Amino acid sequence: MKRWLLLLIPFLISFAFYQPLWGQDEEEYPEEPIIFTKPVKAVVFDHKKHIEDAGLSCDDCHDELFEMAAGTAEENEDFNMEALYNGKYCGACHNGEMAFASNRKCTTCHIGVLGWQRMQGTPKKGKHH
C-alpha cells in the first residue's frame, strides 16, 4: 500500500502543476476542422492551423468574431463573401495583410462538395494542404 502511494506521488505533483498552467493559456479547441456548409458547400476552418501554425490565441477570434459553438455563424444572413470583403468574420484577418486576402486563393478555404464528401469519409484528416 505505501509503495503504491509513493509511486503515485510524482504523478500527483506533476498533475497539480501542469493542470492550472494548461488551463490558463491554452483551453481545448476542436481537433477536427470545422466545416461550413451554408450558404455553400463547403468551407474548411482548422483550429490547429490557426493556433499552432499561425500562432493565434483564442481571444483573436472568440467571442468577438465567432462564438465558441460550431454552426452559429452559418445561421447569420450575412455570412458571405461580401461580409468577408468588408472585414467581418474570417475577413477580419483574411484581408491581404494579416493573412491571405479573401478574394484570393478561393480553393484554400473552399474545398467544394467533393472535398466535403472526402472529409465525411475519412475519420482522420490527411495533411495534403
Contact residues toward ligand HEC (CB under 6 A) are 26-30, 34, 36-40, 42-45, 47, 49-51, 54, 56-58, 60-62, 65-74, 79-82, 84, 89-90, 92-94, 98-100, 102-103, 105-106, 108-110, 129
- Whether the CB-CB separation of 94 and 54 falls below 8 Å is answered with no
Query: DSSP string spanning 37-103?
Result: -SSSS-EEE-HHIIIIIS---HHHHTTTT--SSTTTGGGSTT-SHHHHHTT-GGGGT-SSSSSS-TT
* Residue 21 beta carbon to ligand HEC: minimum distance, rounded to whole angstroms: 14
User: CB-wise, 110 or 125, nearer to ligand HEC?
Assistant: 110
- Whether the CB-CB separation of 40 and 111 falls below 8 Å is answered with no
* Residue 15 beta carbon to ligand HEC: minimum distance, rounded to whole angstroms: 21
Residue 45: strand pairing partners? 34
* Residue 16 beta carbon to ligand HEC: minimum distance, rounded to whole angstroms: 22
* Residue 121 beta carbon to ligand HEC: minimum distance, rounded to whole angstroms: 19
Q: Which residues contact 2 (CB under 8 A, 6 or more apart)?
A: none
